């Protein structure tokens, strides 16, 4: 088999045959043999080398990636096409670096696809640096006259929204000469995906949907549009709007029971808007249900404190041949927590890997700590955290500390609080920015036991360290009119 690819190259040298041959190769050595033979034969087909780049990147090894990066340098006239393939196939950070490297060379003119792929990479990359890099790319797009391309504009909206700069995303959207439904969906999805100022952005998503309905942008809503607006209605808890959207779906798009994604969106919306009966009605009518559908229904039961019903749904899920995922178990543990089903929750946790093949993650451990803490089993929760084999998250200790305050267990609270303050001290030494939440939590534990001298001591330490704590606040948003 050593010279297998080379022997086949001897007989099959048409682009179609070569493309088929490359599709079957998974070993880096065979790809290198084909690559070498292509160079020897002087074959300059961009299509074949594009396929070779894809196969090199699919190998997922540094050596394969290095060879893929070399291919565009072997061409002169068509290398922008190969560069685009390379940017599309490599991981986000690598794709951004590839683009930056070619910008510094100033050897070719990029096209629309280049900017679409590299902005997409910025959208998928870490928000820490990707926002700054994406802004530089956006500036190049404007400078070189590519911003009129609707696909680039839509990708730019997606990039800004993914990096939490919703204001810039909306600015790009408002400056578009022509807006299609994909751009509207990208903007609405961007609003609904934010973790901060959730109510405000959900409200903006509903306003944008209203403009789509009244033909302000001259586009028609699609199933993706509806999923975005159902998410917004869920976040706002506006049942009237959700019901109107349900009617709109049945009249203009399809019956929800025939579309697993729309059906799941409606189950989620009705559950979160407090109408569990309607959620069950949609759920039972659906002809096809995937793991997301079952998880949405489980989450709805958890929200309403119906722990036993949620566990029964897990049995029905298994009977229907659907395997639960990590999110499903998070919802099940939440249901047990709200219903006080301690034994059931612990049994489910210890059997989730052996029985369902789902490895417990940090959020599952957090659910169990919360379950034990709410039930007052503080010693068991402490031992559970100590017994965790991997690195313990401070969130687990904070959850236990809050439970100590609720149950007025000052001894355990002081013990846990000091562990957290020790971790804070280590962060200070490492130069990491800490917060005052652990100090405040320990102070509250002391206050619940009327140990005012200890409260004063904690506050004094905060003053010495210059730790400030911003008080919480809340806002109320109301819809001026329902859709």
> Residues 259-274: pLDDT tens digits?
899 999 999 999 999 8
With a CB cutoff of 8 Å and minimum separation 6, the contacts of 231 are: 192, 202, 205, 265, 268, 269
Mean pLDDT over the full length of the chain: 82
- Would the pLDDT of 86 be above 70? yes
User: Would you give the end-to-end CA distance of the chain in angstroms?
Assistant: 66
SS3 for 148? Answer: coil
- Judge whether 148 lies within some domain: no
Instruction: Return the pLDDT at 429.
Output: 57
As a whole number, mean pLDDT of residues 456-480 equals 63
State the Cα–Cα distance between residues 123 and 110, nearest whole angstrom.
19
Report the predicted TM-score, pTM, of the whole model to 2 decimal places: 0.77
- Of 210, 220, 204, 206, which Cα lies nearest the Cα of 170? 204
CA–CA distances in Å: residue 239 to residues 229, 230, 263, 282, 292? 12, 10, 16, 15, 21
In a domain, 76, yes or no: no
Determine the average pLDDT of the residues in 206-218: 84
Mean pLDDT, rounded, for 104-131: 83
Quote the number of domains for the chain: 1
How far does Cα 423 stand from its chain's mean position? Answer: 28
Does residue 253 form part of some domain? yes
- Does residue 346 lie in a domain region? no
For residue 256, give the DSSP letter: G
Distance in angstroms (rounded) separating the CA atoms of residues 82 and 56? 13
Q: Which residue has the higher pLDDT, 4 or 387?
A: 387
Whether 351 is covered by a domain: the verdict is: no
Q: Which two tokens stand for residue 468?
A: 């400030």
Question: Per residue in 326-351, pLDDT tens?
Answer: 999 999 999 999 888 999 999 999 99
pLDDT tens per residue, range 392-408: 678 888 888 888 888 88
Question: Residue 377: pLDDT above 60?
Answer: yes
Establish if 274 belongs to a structural domain: yes
More confident call, 439 vs 365? 365
Looking at residue 2, what is its pLDDT? 46
Distance in angstroms (rounded) separating the CA atoms of residues 63 and 387: 41
Question: Does residue 247 lie within any of the structural domains?
Answer: yes
Please answer whether residues 445 and 410 qualify as being in contact, where contact means their C-beta atoms are separated by less than 8 angstroms.
yes
The whole-number pLDDT of residue 413 equals 83
Say yes or no to pLDDT of 24 above 50.
Answer: yes
Residue-level pLDDT at 19: 56
Buried (b) or exposed (e) across 297-313, using 16+ Cβ within 10 A? Answer: bbbbbbbbebbebbbeb
* Structural domain range at position 221: 192-288
DSSP 8-state secondary structure symbol assigned to residue 461: H
Q: What is the pLDDT of residues 215-255, one digit of tens each?
A: 777 788 888 999 999 999 999 988 999 999 999 988 888 88
> pLDDT exceeding 70 applies to what percent of the chain?
84
**CA-based angle 178:181:184, to the nearest 5?**
85
Q: What is the pLDDT of residues 132-172, one digit of tens each?
A: 888 999 999 999 888 888 999 999 999 999 989 999 999 99
**DSSP label at residue 375:** T
């Amino acid at each position: 088999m050593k010279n297998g690819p080379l022997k086949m190259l001897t007989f099959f040298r048409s682009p179609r045959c070569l493309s088929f041959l490359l599709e079957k190769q998974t070993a880096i050595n065979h790809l290198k043999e084909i690559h070498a033979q292509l160079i020897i034969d002087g074959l300059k087909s961009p299509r074949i080398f594009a396929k070779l780049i894809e196969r090199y990147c699919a190998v997922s090894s540094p050596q394969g990636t290095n060879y893929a990066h070399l291919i565009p340098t072997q061409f002169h006239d068509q290398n922008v096409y190969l560069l685009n393939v390379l940017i599309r196939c490599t991981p986000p950070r690598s794709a951004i670096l590839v683009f930056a490297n070619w910008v510094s060379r100033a050897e070719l003119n990029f096209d629309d696809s280049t900017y679409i792929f590299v902005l997409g990479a910025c959208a998928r990359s870490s928000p820490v640096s990707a926002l700054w890099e994406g802004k530089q790319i956006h500036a190049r797009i404007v400078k070189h006259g590519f911003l009129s391309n609707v696909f680039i504009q839509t990708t730019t909206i997606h990039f800004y929204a993914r990096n939490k700069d919703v204001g810039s995303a909306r600015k790009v959207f408002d400056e578009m000469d022509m807006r299609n439904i994909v751009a509207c969906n990208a903007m609405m999805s961007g609003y609904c995906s934010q973790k901060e100022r959730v109510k405000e952005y959900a409200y903006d998503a509903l306003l944008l949907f209203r403009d789509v309905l009244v033909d302000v942008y001259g586009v028609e809503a699609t199933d993706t549009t509806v999923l975005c607006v159902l998410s917004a209605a869920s976040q706002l808890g506006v049942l009237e709007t959700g019901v109107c959207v349900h009617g709109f779906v049945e009249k203009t798009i399809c019956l929800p029971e025939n579309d697993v994604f729309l059906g799941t969106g409606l189950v989620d919306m009705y559950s979160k808007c407090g109408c569990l009966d309607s959620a069950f009605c949609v759920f039972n009518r659906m002809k096809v249900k995937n793991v997301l559908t079952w998880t949405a229904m489980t989450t709805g039961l958890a929200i309403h404190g119906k722990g036993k019903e949620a566990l029964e749904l897990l049995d029905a899920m298994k009977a229907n041949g659907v395997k639960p995922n990590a999110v499903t178990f998070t919802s099940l543990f939440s249901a047990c927590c709200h219903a006080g089903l301690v034994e059931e929750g612990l049994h489910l946790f210890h059997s989730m890997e052996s029985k369902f093949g789902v490895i417990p993650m940090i959020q599952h451990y957090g659910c169990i700590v919360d379950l034990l803490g709410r039930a007052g089993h503080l010693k068991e929760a402490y031992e559970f955290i100590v017994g965790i084999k991997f690195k313990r998250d401070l969130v687990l200790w904070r959850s236990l500390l809050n439970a100590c305050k609720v149950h007025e267990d000052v001894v355990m609270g002081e013990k846990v609080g000091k562990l957290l303050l020790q971790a804070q001290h280590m962060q200070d030494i490492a130069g990491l920015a800490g917060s005052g939440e652990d100090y405040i939590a320990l102070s509250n534990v002391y206050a619940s036991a009327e140990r005012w001298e200890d409260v004063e001591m904690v506050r004094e330490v905060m003053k010495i360290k210059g730790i400030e704590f911003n008080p919480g606040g809340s806002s109320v948003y109301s819809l001026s009119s329902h859709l």
